Amino acid sequence: MSLFTEYLSRTAKEYGLILDEAKFAAFDRYYHLLIEWNEKINLTAITEPEEVAVKHIIDSLSCYDAAIFATGARVADVGTGAGFPGIPLKIFQPDLKLTLLDSLNKRLVFLQQVIDELKLCDVTVLHSRAEDAGKNKSQRESYRIVLSRAVARLNVLSEYCLPLVEKGGWFIAHKGAQYQAELAEADKAIVTLGGKVERVIPVQLPGLSDRRAVIYIRKLNTTPLIYPRKSGMPEKKPL
């Protein structure tokens, strides 16, 4: 058992997650690919085994709710970067149909390597800005779940993500210590885009004292066709 796997085993147990040997092996290979590729392209500043186990893997899995992540659910990870939270969730629930969306192609080259080496089925990499994907008929309102982590403030992120969520589906955002302020700031945007905040779950990661939360937003209404606005506008002029 590698040092990373030891840390992951301990912290998963502390967090109440059950992982079998196959999942530990997949996470271990993912970790080593991350470290290897991080020397060539900037994927993450977090590289120590214990930190990756907690701040990337356990944090990614903190949003998991079996009632939402239905068997075979179509899931998109917007601004996936090094694959968080999408890849850990796919390893945890292999039947998910996952799309990893990022605007930087070299990250997607890394992710394709991960997909190939871990033999992950039903995973697609999509080179696109979120605003462009939201206007694409094959992507718009076609996902049961849209995830995002550490991409933008919630008012901006909502315009990136909610247009991709099918009516009745979920937008799930991982947020840090300022999540309450971001929620207040994003209230208008969420409603305008057809969403409603259903619940906010505070997250306490093993061994860390910082405040985090997972925000679950339900898509109640179809997003007006004018959204998302053209690339760059959500960030320049948030709703």
Tokens 């629930």 map to which residue?
93
Q: Are 211 and 133 in contact (CB under 8 A)?
A: no
Q: Tell me which residue of 206, 202, 192 sits closest to 238, measured CA to CA.
A: 192
235 annotated to a ligand binding site: no
4 annotated to a ligand binding site: no
169 annotated to a ligand binding site: no
| Rounded distance between C-alpha atoms, residue 187 and residue 191, angstroms | 6
Q: Which stretches of the chain are DSSP H helices?
A: 3-15, 21-38, 49-51, 59-61, 86-92, 105-117, 130-135, 154-161, 179-192, 233-236
21 annotated to a ligand binding site: no
Residue list for the binding site for S-adenosyl-L-methionine: 79, 84, 130-131, 149
Residue list for the binding site: 79, 84, 130-131, 149
